[in-house]
Structure 1
């Protein structure tokens, strides 16, 4: 067996091992979390893990057992995976290119506006079914519960370095002019503000600003940062997959040239 065959055997054995914790994590999510917002996470993880495992097994069998047909199928699937991963990576960079928090004078936090993000991302959080699941997730995660203890005074709250979710979902927009009681309790201004989020805000701990556009924007800012990180990792993974694919093509050529496979 040539050098390229040994390399692809090692690489596929390595990726097969990597698929095991991915599948295990998906199964753990399925059994550990009961909330609707987390339940959907299991299937992509399990599907990705199984897909990688099957490709790796096909590559291992194709190179180790010298099955030309299986190695050809392996290379075809790898080529498709490269195309899909490249398309997703480009898409992720495009849809996360827009959007950023606005600095607020005299405040330590930024505020986020839904209109600053790409139309595709806006459509995702504006769909009622999607947002209800996300809203449930935020409520279950209790992202706002610790703010009262961390920032007991108006001065401390004003200088707080809030996360996008905390800024968008746990307090009313600064433009509303509400009076601070505690981090999650505010007295509404006598003069209404045109911002619809001012009317949406509720001191009810289960409501707060979870239905505000600012909360949707905070979610998108969080998603944007995560997607950008994933996209960067995807570039690295894509390079590695292309390298494995190139080695696989070399192994395929070696198999045909050396007449390893009969009939």
Structure 2
């Protein structure tokens, strides 16, 4: 009689196997629908993840339900490495996102962001890939709402801006530029700030402040928030994987005991 642990491992892996199919389909759909370099960057990792989940699930199903001990051993080894990798990534995510936050500006509804506030590892990563990231940000039209608006200066200063809009779509507050429209600013005759971002600003809608450190900081603030959410989800997923791994170990032990019993019964 097939034991409970083998059945449970089989059921759990059938669920993950079924989940892998829409993941792979979503990756293929992304690759066909992508119009920008930003979107194309997403499809390959999604497809790889889906295929990996599908293969691991198949190993778990066959190993537990068909009593293939060596395949179940491979499945448990992969699961152990996955748990270890996920645990390390979760710790790493909390470490690199423990620094950095927006700075409130007096009488302004938005915050400003400084690149130096974030971890050195994140800074190095964004600086090393900024050309590609910048192209993605321009194509994503994050400043489109501001470009289309004709907002009075008082209303603009009271309004809420996302981290990317604050960092990429307007000059830093300490540049003391004169407001004309949300993405049109005039520079003072005599510069009053040493901030290098003041020299990077342009009223050209494909330039704006996309080359500014404040834009990189706005991106890192988004990354920090996303990574923290992912880290919390990873903790839940880790608990699930540990339970599955424990049940899988029981199924592996059952297989070995059954094989040993058969070996004694049928020499």
Fold shared, TM-score > 0.5 on shorter chain: yes
| Native 8 Å contact 1:255 1:261 kept in 2 | no
Between the aligned partners of 2:250 and 2:222, the Cα distance in structure 1 is: 42
Structure 1 residues 229-254: Cα deviation after superposition (integer angstroms, max 9, x where no partner): 11111111111011100000011111
| Corresponding residue number in structure 1 for 2:172 | 173
Deviation at 1:43, TM superposition (A): 1.5
Q: How does 1:7-22 map to 2 (within 5 A)?
A: 7-22=8-23
- Aligned equivalent of 1:215: 215
Residue by residue over 1:208-260, the C-alpha shift from the partner in whole angstroms, topping out at 9 and shown as x without a partner, is: 00000000000000111111111111111111011100000011111112337
Is contact 1:151–1:160 with CA below 8 Å preserved after alignment? no
**Structure possessing the higher radius of gyration over alpha carbons:** 2
Report the CA distance between 1:38 and its aligned residue.
Answer: 2.1
Instruction: Determine if contact 1:151/1:157 at 8 Å carries over to the other structure.
Output: no
> Aligned partners of 1:160, 1:187: CA distance in 2, in Å?
20
Decide whether the 8 Å contact of 1:153 with 1:182 is kept in 2: yes
Q: Which residue of 2 aligns with 1:53?
A: 54
**Which position in structure 1 is the counterpart of 2:189?**
190
Unmatched 5+ stretches in structure 2? none
* Counterpart-to-counterpart distance in 1, 2:262 and 2:202: 74
Task: Return the TM-score normalized by structure 1.
Answer: 0.96
For 1:76 and 1:195, locate their aligned partners in 2 and report how far apart those are by CA, in whole Å. Answer: 52
Normalised to the residue count of structure 2, the TM-score between the two structures is: 0.95
Contact 1:13 1:60 in 2 (8 A): yes
Q: Extract unaligned runs of 5+ from structure 1.
A: none
The structure-2 alpha-carbon separation of the partners of 1:25 and 1:262, relative to structure 1 and needing over 3 Å to count, comes to: farther
Residues in 1 aligned to 2:261 and 2:29: alpha-carbon distance in whole angstroms: 42
Using a 3 Å threshold, how does the CA distance of structure 1 residues 68 and 153 change in structure 2: closer, same or farther? same
Tell me how far 1:49 sits from its aligned partner.
1.0
| Structure 1 outlier segments of 4+, above 2 Å | 148-151, 258-263
Where do residues 66-81 of structure 1 align in structure 2 (5 Å cutoff)? Answer: 66-81=67-82
> 1:31 Cα shift?
1.1
Counterpart CA distance in 2 for 1:96 and 1:243 is 28
Cα distance in 1 for residues equivalent to 2:261 and 2:172: 69
